[in-house]
Structure 1
Amino acid sequence: MPVLHSTKRTTVLRAPTADREGIGEFEYTDRYSVFHYGPMPDAIPGKSEAACRMAVFNFQLLEAAGVPTHFLRQSAPNRIQFTLARLPETLDHPLTPERGNYLLPLQVLFRNELPPGNSVHRRLASGDLRPVDLGLDAVPAVGERPPRPTIEYATTREPVNRFLTPADAQLLSGLDDRLFGALSETTTAVNTVLSDHAAAVGINHCDGKTEFLVTGNQDLLLDSPGTPDESRLMFDGVHCGKQILRDWYVRSGNEVPVGQLLADGVPRHQWPRPAPLPPAFVSVMSDLYRALCERWTGERHWNAPDLATATRAVRALTEE
């Protein structure tokens, strides 16, 4: 199993077994990741608490709408406790629901809009994806809103996630037809709840993803809510998340070619160190994450600018 490099830290408080779910604790950090590199050089002050508070809000919102989640409680401003499941030992022989308490090595992606920066247009241009694969009749324009949300599947426990056909996704998940069907049905429900809330606070919920664990009772529990790390959120045409940072790396010629490094077999410890962000980006992004959290949750925790002011600062910085 590859070593994964996350911007969250996980502590096992009670280990899961085949007969009983465990308890874990997530510590959200101020780090971010782009290009599947893992944590980048800079920290964004306030990102951890903003993301955690949005996650808690979303878990509570979803559970009130009847979506079961793995959330147990918020244990600190930037930490949550959650139901912990086992990890499959190998992707070649995934666990099955009958064995119980395991995390699916799979994510379900949904798209409501196709703004600049999404992967769909790149994959359509390369031939890796066809419009019919998304239920579309033709190649969509950048910024287009499909007539209905599209759903795709991808791996999660690989150095670079791969998109999967529904058949391959079901095989990888080890789920029967009933539970695999429930993946897309629950994802649709999650998308509806989060998108409705986003619209109510003036934010576009362009796309996102869900991940799940399977309990010993063969039920699905959601373990991924719509924070800026999981969802593409936009306000007044401005990205409210790490797409801003990804775009800077690409425009400045500092993109890290992770895919090529992996294809060439370069050990991770020999990868080039990413360039640090220009200092102005750190303070602007710090304000943006805090402003987004306060707009999303309706709670004031910082002396942050409002979201309109924060996104104007992003626009001014990125259009220089």
Structure 2
Amino acid sequence: MDKLYEGKAKILYTTDNPGVLLSHFKDDATAFNARKRGTIVGKGQINCSVSAHLFRLLEGAGVATHFIDQTAPDEMQVKTARILPLEVVVRNIAAGSLTQRTGLQSGTVLKHPLVEFFYKNDELGDPLVTTDHIELLELATPSQIQQLRELSLRVNSLLQRFFEQCGITLVDFKLEFGIDQTPGSSGGILLADEISPDTCRLWDSNSSDPQARVLDKDRFRLDLGGIEGAYQTVMERILAQPV
């Protein structure tokens, strides 16, 4: 295998099959556009296992993803895809940067899910962009933008119901998508990257304490401590639910 790409949380390797890549999940942790760095022990295995379980859930509901199979605790096979340079964030409850930009109080339940697009560009700090910006920069076509919005809302609906069964509130989350490049494919849009405590803001539904309820990377961002235990709790609750 040859290393194809290394990002903040994963390493992609080529395989003997041109349509299949191997994604290795790292224990490295970053926040605030990598200005804060650290290690979360066991994160790679937890995020890989959680992502695999949730990809299976979504595939079963008809959402096309890049997931093929989990081949090791911290590795999965994925389809070859050209990743779109956009992060799609879906918000159900005001938290994080949304409260800073709007003045909404943290914890405010939104009247309907909010979909936001961010330009994946480290040098620019991954800025928030409008659909007009996306078209201007040719990051995606109008048709693709509409598909991304519709797919993200569908994923949100499916994940909300699933997380409720786990005793977890899905506050917000980030998705990435790619164009299928496996040989013989139709070049459709695939849900890619990962779905994990790194990419979701998750609150314990059984706790009302603003700090104790946090089960995601905010424990690392905000120095709340107990990060490994929170990730472990998420994994145990998710894997306990059949898909």
TM-score by length of 1: 0.65
8 Å contact kept, 2:25–2:74: yes
The answer to whether residue 224 in structure 2 is matched with residue 290 in structure 1 is no
Q: 1:176 to 1:161 in 2, by over 3 A?
A: closer
Distance 1:10 1:66 in 2: 25
Distance 1:212 1:103 in 2: 6
Distance 1:39 1:61 in 2: 32
Query: Match for residue 98 of structure 1?
Result: none
Matches within 5 A, 1:8-87: 8-13=10-15, 22-37=19-34, 40-41=37-38, 43-85=39-81
Matches within 5 A, 1:120-269: 120-124=98-102, 140-159=104-123, 160-172=125-137, 174-215=139-180, 217-235=186-204, 236-237=207-208, 238-248=213-223
Distance 1:38 1:103 in 2: 24
Q: Which amino acid aligns with 1:32?
A: A
The answer to whether residue 83 in structure 2 is matched with residue 103 in structure 1 is yes
RMSD over aligned CA atoms reads 2.3
- Deviation at 1:5? 4.6
Provide Cα deviations, 1:113-170, integer angstroms capped at 9, x if missing partner.
013xx1012123xxxxxxxxxxxxxx53321011100011001232321110111124
SS of residue paired to 2:111: coil
Give 5+ residue unaligned stretches, structure 1.
17-21, 86-101, 125-138, 250-280, 300-320
Give 5+ residue unaligned stretches, structure 2.
none
- Deviation at 1:177? 2.8
Q: Which amino acid aligns with 2:100?
A: R
- Deviation at 1:292? 1.3
8 Å contact kept, 2:20–2:79: yes
Q: 1:148 to 1:210 in 2, by over 3 A?
A: same
8 Å contact kept, 1:71–1:82: yes
Q: 1:39 to 1:142 in 2, by over 3 A?
A: closer
SS of residue paired to 1:211: strand
Following TM superposition, where does structure 1 have runs of at least 4 consecutive aligned residues deviating by more than 3 angstroms? 170-176
Distance 1:198 1:171 in 2: 37
Q: Which amino acid aligns with 2:229?
A: D
8 Å contact kept, 1:104–1:173: no
Distance 1:38 1:84 in 2: 30
SS of residue paired to 2:32: coil
The answer to whether residue 97 in structure 2 is matched with residue 119 in structure 1 is yes
Q: 1:79 to 1:38 in 2, by over 3 A?
A: farther
Identity value in percent: 27
More strand by share: 2
Q: 1:232 to 1:14 in 2, by over 3 A?
A: farther
8 Å contact kept, 2:86–2:139: no
- Deviating more after overlay: 237-246 vs 169-178: 169-178
Aligned residue pair count: 226
- Deviating more after overlay: 165-174 vs 50-59: 165-174
SS of residue paired to 2:199: coil
Q: 1:175 to 1:45 in 2, by over 3 A?
A: closer
8 Å contact kept, 1:209–1:231: yes
Distance 1:105 1:190 in 2: 19
